[in-house]
């Protein structure tokens, strides 16, 4: 006997008590919205700190400094770093942020030598709007990450103010690197002067090495070279550097996972409660079904089907709402110039729906088992 034949019956039972079903679906949707949002945050942390196993980039920072405003290194370190064996290039970067604390709306300016930056990173970025020539020509021009442009409503030809800097939007870029998506790249000298710092001082150096296996040895040699200098350095792989700075965000996301687990428990309780109430009001109806030849197993499957429909209906609404909000809002958690994107991907939604469907089945198992074990005569007496 095809189970699909009984889908209309299951839908009819779900819609029989519209108010109760609507409240259950709404509760599941709210819980799944929160669960999907937590998963999106977790996905963003993974993308930013773990999915770059083949990286060849080191970040040279001022030792014992954290916020970009406190990290100052002489720009002439560049030539000494580039003489170290295994180093391909060293790009000086001046970082200015609108807010050094954790926030959802931070503008990060990164001043770079334009020609060297394009030669090193240009191939990894896609210009989706504007002109690279315009960026190279104008001193105050910025290449703005797509996430930042969407959040602030920026388009080529516009100017914007942040962190005491007024910049002209020459282009909008897209990149697989989360740090490129929430940043504005400008000329090094422009940020140095606009940030009221003297020329020749940078925040960090982004160093490219020949092979990933050389990262640790090159980092040790860089720090050894400047160990006794007035401005000593601390060198990390890019992944470790992001993880070190974003430690508070990572802990926050770790705590939020418990919120996600609580949301799943709420879904289970909501669905189970709705099915129990529905089954109790239809004891006599189940007796009639068994009298007509419906097996106890089929009655149980129909009840489990109700739980699945309620759970998936709420799950779809909640997950899609979280996806739309994350996409339209272009949110990213930023701290000390490092960006952690909130990645609401279709994969995250699919995971949420699978979990939601599983919980819907689990929520219907106990009332289904109880209904399938009742004898027909007992059902008629209870009715």
* Residue 222 in this model has a pLDDT that exceeds 90: yes
- pLDDT at residue 82 tops 70: yes
Given 231, 261, 280, the domain boundary residue is 231
Q: Are residues 202 and 282 in the same domain?
A: no
User: pLDDT by residue (tens digit) across 303-354?
Assistant: 777 778 888 888 888 888 888 887 777 777 776 667 777 777 777 788 888 8
For the chain, the C-alpha Rg in angstroms (whole number) is 29
In terms of domains, do 44 and 69 share one? no
Global pTM? 0.71
For residues 359-374, average pLDDT:
70
116 within a domain of the structure (yes/no): yes
CA-CA distances (angstroms) from residue 162 to 77, 187, 351? 29, 16, 38
Whether residue 24 is found in the same domain as residue 135: no
Q: In this structure, what token pair is assigned to residue 97? A: 């942020």
**In terms of DSSP bridges, do strands 87-97 and 108-112 run parallel, antiparallel, or are they unpaired?**
antiparallel
Instruction: Check whether residue 271 and residue 294 sit in a common domain.
Output: yes
The pLDDT assigned to 171 comes to: 92
Cβ pair 326, 42 in contact under 8 A:
no
Please list, residue by residue across 26-42, b when 16 or more beta carbons sit within 10 angstroms of its beta carbon and e when fewer do: ebbbbbbbbbbbbbbbb
Shared domain for 264 and 289, answered yes or no, is: yes
Residue at 55 is within a domain: no
Residues 72, 44, single domain; the answer is no
In a domain, 236, yes or no: no
Task: Give me the domain span that covers residue 119.
Answer: 64-231
Q: Is the pLDDT of residue 360 over 70?
A: yes
| pLDDT higher than threshold 60 for residue 374 | no
Claim to verify: residue 16 and residue 123 sit in the same structural domain: no
Q: Which of 231, 265, 292 delimits the end of a domain? A: 231
Indicate whether 59 belongs to any domain: no
Chain-centre distance for alpha carbon 299: 42
Bridging pattern class, strands 204-209 and 338-341: unpaired
| One domain, residues 27 and 149 | no
- What does the alpha-carbon distance between residue 109 and residue 95 come to, in Å, rounded to a whole number? 6
Q: Which positions ≥6 away from 328 have C-beta within 8 Å?
A: none
Q: Is there a domain that residue 102 lies in? A: yes
Residues 71 and 189 in one domain: yes
What is residue 243's predicted lDDT score, i.e. its pLDDT?
A: 67
pLDDT given for residue 382 in this prediction: 47
Whether 201 maps to a domain, the answer reads yes
> For residue range 179-208, what is the model confidence (pLDDT) as tens digits?
788 889 999 999 888 755 567 889 999 999
Q: 78 with 198, same domain?
A: yes
pLDDT computed for residue 282 by the predictor: 60
- For 14, other C-beta atoms within 10 Å of its C-beta total 22
Q: Are both 165 and 302 inside the same structural domain? A: no
Per-residue pLDDT of 260-284, as tens digits, reads 788 778 777 777 777 776 666 565 5
- Structural domain tally of the chain? 2
Is 241 part of any domain? Answer: no
Residue 93 near residue 202 (C-beta atoms within 8 A)? yes
Do residues 36 and 73 both lie within one domain? no
pLDDT of residue 380: 47
């Amino acid at each position: 006997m095809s189970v699909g034949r009984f889908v209309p019956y299951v839908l009819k039972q779900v819609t029989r008590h519209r108010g109760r079903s609507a409240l259950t679906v709404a509760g599941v949707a709210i819980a799944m919205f929160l669960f999907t949002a937590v998963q999106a945050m977790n996905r963003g942390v993974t993308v930013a700190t773990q999915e770059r196993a083949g990286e060849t980039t080191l970040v040279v920072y001022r030792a014992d400094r954290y916020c970009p405003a406190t990290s100052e290194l002489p720009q002439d370190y560049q030539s000494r770093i580039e003489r170290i064996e295994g180093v391909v290039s060293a790009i000086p970067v001046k970082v200015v942020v609108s807010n050094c604390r954790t926030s959802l709306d931070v503008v990060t300016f990164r001043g770079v030598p334009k020609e060297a930056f394009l030669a090193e990173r240009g191939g990894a970025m896609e210009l989706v709007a504007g002109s690279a020539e315009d960026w190279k020509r104008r001193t105050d021009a910025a290449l703005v990450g797509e996430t930042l442009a969407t959040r602030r409503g920026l388009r080529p030809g516009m100017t914007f103010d942040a962190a005491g800097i007024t910049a002209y939007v020459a282009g909008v870029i897209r990149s697989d690197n989360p740090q490129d998506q929430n940043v504005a790249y400008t000329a090094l000298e422009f940020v140095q002067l606009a940030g009221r710092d003297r020329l020749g001082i940078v925040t960090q150096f982004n160093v490219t090495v020949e092979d990933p296996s050389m990262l640790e040895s090159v980092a040790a040699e860089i720090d050894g070279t400047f160990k006794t200098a007035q401005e000593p350095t601390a060198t990390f792989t890019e992944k470790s550097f992001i993880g070190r700075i974003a430690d508070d965000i990572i802990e926050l996301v770790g705590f939020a996972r418990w919120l996600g687990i609580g949301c799943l428990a709420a879904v289970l309780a909501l669905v189970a409660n709705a099915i129990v109430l529905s089954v109790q009001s239809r004891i006599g109806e189940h007796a009639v079904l068994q009298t007509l030849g419906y097996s106890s197993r089929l009655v149980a499957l129909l009840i489990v089907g109700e739980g699945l429909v309620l759970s998936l209906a709420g799950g779809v609404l909640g997950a899609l709402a979280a996806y739309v909000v994350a996409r339209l809002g272009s949110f990213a958690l930023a701290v000390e110039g490092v960006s952690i994107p909130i990645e609401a991907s279709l994969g995250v939604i699919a995971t949420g729906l699978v979990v939601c469907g599983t919980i819907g089945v689990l929520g219907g198992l106990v009332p289904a088992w109880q209904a399938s074990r009742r004898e027909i005569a007992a059902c008629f007496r209870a009715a």
